Amino acid sequence: MASINLKVAKRDAKNTKVSDVRREGSIPGVYYINGTESVPITSNFKDLKPIVFTSLTNVVELEIDGEESRNCILKEVKFHPITDEILHFDLMGLTPGNKIVVNIPITLTGQSVGVRNGGVLNHVLRKVKVRCFPKDLVETINVDISNLKIGKLIKLDEIDLGELEVVVKGNAVIAGVSRPRVATAGTGVDLDDEDAESIGEEGGEAAEGEAASE
């Protein structure tokens, strides 16, 4: 999978307030890895932008004050509630032999036969919480919807996830194709009863959670 280089500077957390860091135009953050003390760091918006504002999962090659680079992933970002300004970021180090828990985005590929026949595509599950070794991380999970017909669904257990282990319970719906509203007297959905209920009840179950080390 792709990796992004990020050069940061150490931050004196004891003697410098995060508000002062932000006032100087920098963004405070922290790097940590299991079994070691966390390292306060600072970066800037330009360098953080491709790491934060993306739908893909990326490995970050982190360089702190010119030291040897280390692999990590973005674990958490805090935004200003009004301006969406990045206030703080957390980077979690990766250890080759230790599994991690992380959210992986889901990308739909192909053009559904149901959509070509006039149906409406509903992309329900956009990310899934999985457990894996760092070497098995992927940027996104591609799901081919080419054969998805009107009234049918694709569920999580139908997808080959390779070495990725789904953490959440249940069999969430990834996507479905419904009939146009005009064709169904305003209901907007013409799925089998069981599948229609699944979209509402199971659609969001697999999308929650943050990256965590096991």
Please state the pTM of the whole predicted model.
0.75
DSSP 147-214: TPPTT-EEEGGGS--TT-EE-S-S--EEEEEE--GGGGTT------HHHHHHHHHHTTTTS----EE-
User: Comparing 2-11, 45-54, 198-207, which segment has the lowest mean pLDDT?
Assistant: 198-207
pLDDT of 191 above 90: no
Structural domains for the chain: 3-93 (2.40.240.10), 100-213 (2.170.120.20)
Per-residue pLDDT at 92: 94
pLDDT of 210 above 80: no
Q: Give the sign of the dihedral formed by CA 50, CA 53, CA 58, CA 63.
A: positive
Q: How far is CA 85 from CA 44, 79, 81, 114, in A?
A: 11, 5, 8, 41
Q: Among 151, 201, 149, which residue's Cα sits nearest to residue 173?
A: 201
Q: Among 54, 52, 61, 53, which residue's Cα sits nearest to residue 8?
A: 61
DSSP 27-57: EEEEEE-TTS--EEEEE-HHHHHHHHS-SS-
pLDDT of 76 above 60: yes
Q: Among 73, 100, 66, 67, which residue's Cα sits nearest to residue 4?
A: 73
Per-residue pLDDT at 99: 93
- pLDDT band at residue 194 using 50, 70 and 90 as cut-offs: very low
Per-residue pLDDT at 82: 93
User: Comparing 109-118, 119-128, 134-143, 162-171, which segment has the lowest mean pLDDT?
Assistant: 162-171
Per-residue pLDDT at 73: 94
